[in-house]
Amino acid sequence: MTAPPPVRSSDDLAETLVVGAGVLGLCVAAELTRRGWDVQVLDAGGANASAVAAGMIAPALESAVENVSAERAALLRRAADLWPEFAAAVGISLHREGAVWLGEGVEEISDRLDDLGFKAVRRGDRLVVDGESRVEAEPALAALKARLRHPVRIGRVLSIDRADDGWRVAHSDGQVLARRLVLATGAAAAVPGTPEEVARRIAAIQPIGGMTGRIERAFDAGVVRGRGAYAATGPGGTILGATMAFGDRDPVAGGPDGEALVQALRAFSGVQIASDQVDWRAGVRGATADGLPLAGAVETPDLFLALAPRRNGWLLGPLVGRVVADAIEGRAPSLDAAPFDPLRAL
């Protein structure tokens, strides 16, 4: 393993700079910090899609709902298996109450879970799925930031370009000279100066607008799911989710999509909630053509990606952090690195 480089004290220098303080960027930064590296994070500020999310770490039901292959389901399971140790190490509270599927589709979901090797118990019109967990998104983001050696810098990136010893990153509040650069910018367009091949792959990322809502009412199970909606109850209240509008970079919180989400929840849970009683929030996620993130090294030296996890940013966060940290350290890629390879055919 390559030893971490010495720490530089200047605010204008960074040994490793992560651009983007969503779940992937912060998981990369936290993992590198755990390994003894000095990492800085630069973010445009404001809410991001990771903060809007329900923080689901749900390999079983995500696999069943998306009807993925057994290979993809196994990858999601391995990603979830990293969470207990990672959460304990970085100070994130992990809620491990499992999940319940209600109403229409119980038999279909049960059969899919069985085929994929997940455990679930049928109880009438309820399907109880053990092993599913979640985090409270905003407190989890705060915990990840607290593990860093430096506060997150706020600045909108204007351009990047190669310097003699790494990358020059110009932003709205100055510039940073970074020995290594990790782009974790979600569904945002490639910034000027991004190498052509990398920019082409970033341009192919599909934005997905979506919304979640928060209510004070608690459900009798931690996570309740059904056709077209879910409700996740935790210490901060209950989050309703989630819509997915492919190609939408400017989602509107509430409105007809929010009403449709509430109606779907009513249909399988019987709980009467009005759309105007929900505190709606919107965000934009990114997705590749195969639904897995771009995570790891590219051919341009000292440049790494951690982008586009579709709907599973929280689930995949620690695994993406490990894959990118291994690439930065020059370790041999793990088997789980290949599906995230930024240079894979898409």
Taking the domains of the chain in order of start, what are their residue ranges?
A: 13-50+140-204+290-340
Architecture of the domain spanning 13-50+140-204+290-340: 3-Layer(bba) Sandwich (3.50)
- Helix, strand or coil, per DSSP, at residue 191: coil
CA distance 210 to 49: 9
Q: How far apart (Å, rounded) are the C-alpha atoms in residues 265 and 247?
A: 25
Count of positions (residues) in the chain: 346
Could you give the CA distance from residue 128 to residue 7 in angstroms, rounded to a whole number? 49
C-beta separation of 98 from 119 below 8 A: no
Among 9-18, 43-52, 88-97, 157-166, which stretch is predicted with the lowest mean pLDDT?
9-18
What pLDDT is attached to residue 8?
A: 41
Query: pLDDT tens, 274-304?
Result: 888 899 999 999 999 999 999 999 999 999 9
The stretch 318-324 carries a mean pLDDT of 98
Place of tokens 């903060």: 51
Query: 224-265, pLDDT tens digit by residue?
Result: 999 999 999 888 789 999 899 999 999 988 889 999 999 998
Contacting residues for 7 by C-beta, under 8 A, at least 6 apart: 15, 38
Question: What residues does 178 pair with on adjacent strands?
Answer: 14, 167
Portion of the chain with pLDDT greater than 70, in percent: 96
Q: What pLDDT is stored for residue 327 in this prediction? A: 97
Residue 10 banded pLDDT, cuts 50, 70, 90: very low
pLDDT at 171 over 50: yes
DSSP summary character for residue 127: E
- pLDDT, tens digit, for every residue of 123-146? 888 999 988 999 999 999 999 999
Q: 107: which 2 tokens?
A: 């038999």
- pLDDT at position 192: 96
Q: Rounded distance, CA 189 to CA 44, Å?
A: 13
Peptide bond into 242 cis (omega under 30): yes
| Whether the predicted pLDDT of 1 surpasses 70 | no
